[in-house]
Amino acid sequence: MLKIGVPSKGRLMDQSFAWFAARGITLRRTGNEREYAGAVEGLEGVSLVLLSAAEIPRELAAGRIHLGVTGTDLLREKLAGWPGRVAELAPMGFGHADLVIAVPAAWVDVDTLDDLDAAAAGFRAAHGFRLRIATKYHRLVRDYLKRHGVADYQLVDSQGATEGTIRNLTAEAIADITSTGETLRANHLKILSAPPVLRSQATLFAARAADWTGCRDAAAAVAGRLGVALPPPAA
């Protein structure tokens, strides 16, 4: 049985269903909103698995689903060495968001990553500890700041309203996902004048570790309708 993992609720689920439907594959939820059950109509040997978007990278990496829809931000954050574990099949054109670095708008002299590096050094000299950047994207942000030569900072975990950590005095800057920047501006934050850490969107991925041997016909049918080429499994 070929298993397709799709976000279990909200706009991501609805837009995923619409994307598949436009390509001739009908996905539908069965049962009530508290039941994570679904079905694929008109294709033999294909099942729908409803999961949170954050769970889908883990299930792909483990090979428990064959195909999965999730954000590129979640997948690249959660899976080290992701190209060897999953294959990116198709950007889906929705769920767009940028992972950005933001600082208090009152920091008038901090507009670039070089400014942030200088501010971090000054902060440590003045306070005796590193400038704190709140984020839930530790891997992506650490790699990005290292590439751009920013030092003297520490990442602090934020799994809630990251933009509120500065007001609550638990961080001095943040790295978070934004679509429009409105929430950041409402919290008196400004995005640094730098390329985003990552431009993310909903994307269809394939699991290299999944067992494809028993579902080759179903996989070929799905790939044909979607217009994608499935990769060979990992060695």
pLDDT for 151-164, tens place per residue? 999 999 997 789 88
Pairing of strands 2-7, 46-51: parallel
In a domain, 235, yes or no: no
DSSP secondary structure code for residue 156 in this structure: E
Query: Whose structure tokens read 């080429």?
Result: 229
- Is residue 234 predicted with pLDDT exceeding 60? no
Within a domain: 150: yes
> What pLDDT sits at residue 42?
87
Q: What is the CATH number of the domain that holds 57?
A: 3.40.190.10
| Own/partner long-range contacts of 103-109 (Cβ < 8 Å, ≥24 apart) | 103/172, 103/173, 103/189, 103/190, 103/192, 104/166, 104/172, 104/173, 104/188, 104/189, 104/190, 105/185, 105/188, 105/189, 105/190, 106/188, 107/190
Note the pLDDT tens digit of each residue in 164-218: 899 999 999 999 999 999 999 999 999 999 999 999 999 999 999 999 999 999 9
- Is the Cβ–Cβ distance between 51 and 7 less than 8 Å? yes
pLDDT of residue 206: 97
Residues 8 and 69 in one domain: yes
Non-local CB neighbours of 164 within 8 Å, separated by 6+ positions: 187
Looking at the fold, whether 157 and 89 belong to one and the same domain comes out as no
Summarize pLDDT for 55-86 with one digit per residue, the tens. Answer: 999 999 999 999 999 999 999 999 999 999 99
Contact between 160 and 103 under an 8 Å Cβ cutoff? The reply is no
Residue type, 114: D
pLDDT computed for residue 29 by the predictor: 86
Q: Are residues 180 and 216 in the same domain?
A: no
Q: Is the pLDDT of residue 233 over 80?
A: no
Whether 234 is covered by a domain: the verdict is no
**pLDDT at 35 (0 to 100):** 54
Asked if the model's pLDDT at residue 38 lies above 90, the reply is no
Q: What is the extent of the structural domain holding 208?
A: 2-95+202-226
| Cα–Cα distance measured from residue 15 to residue 18, given in angstroms and rounded to the nearest whole number | 5
User: 139 and 158: one domain?
Assistant: yes
One domain, residues 101 and 91: no
d(CA 191, CA 175): 9
Buried b (16+ CB within 10 A) or exposed e, 83-105: eebbbbbbebeebebbbbbbbbe
Q: Are residues 86 and 142 in the same domain?
A: no
Short-list 10, 3, 1, 16, CA closest to 49: 3
What is the per-residue pLDDT across 97-117, written as a single tens digit (0 to 9) for each?
999 999 999 999 999 999 999
Would you state the pLDDT for residue 160? 77
The confidence band for 235, taking pLDDT boundaries of 50, 70 and 90, is low
- Residue 76 gets the label, from left (phi > 0), alpha (psi -120 to 50) or beta, of alpha
Question: How many domains does the structure of the chain reveal?
Answer: 2
Residue 34 is predicted with a pLDDT of 57
Least confident of 37-41, 47-51, 53-57: 37-41
Same domain, yes or no: 194 and 102? yes
Q: How far is CA 90 from CA 3, 34, 120, 189, 229, in A?
A: 17, 29, 39, 33, 10
Of 114, 163, 106, 109, which Cα lies nearest the Cα of 134? 163
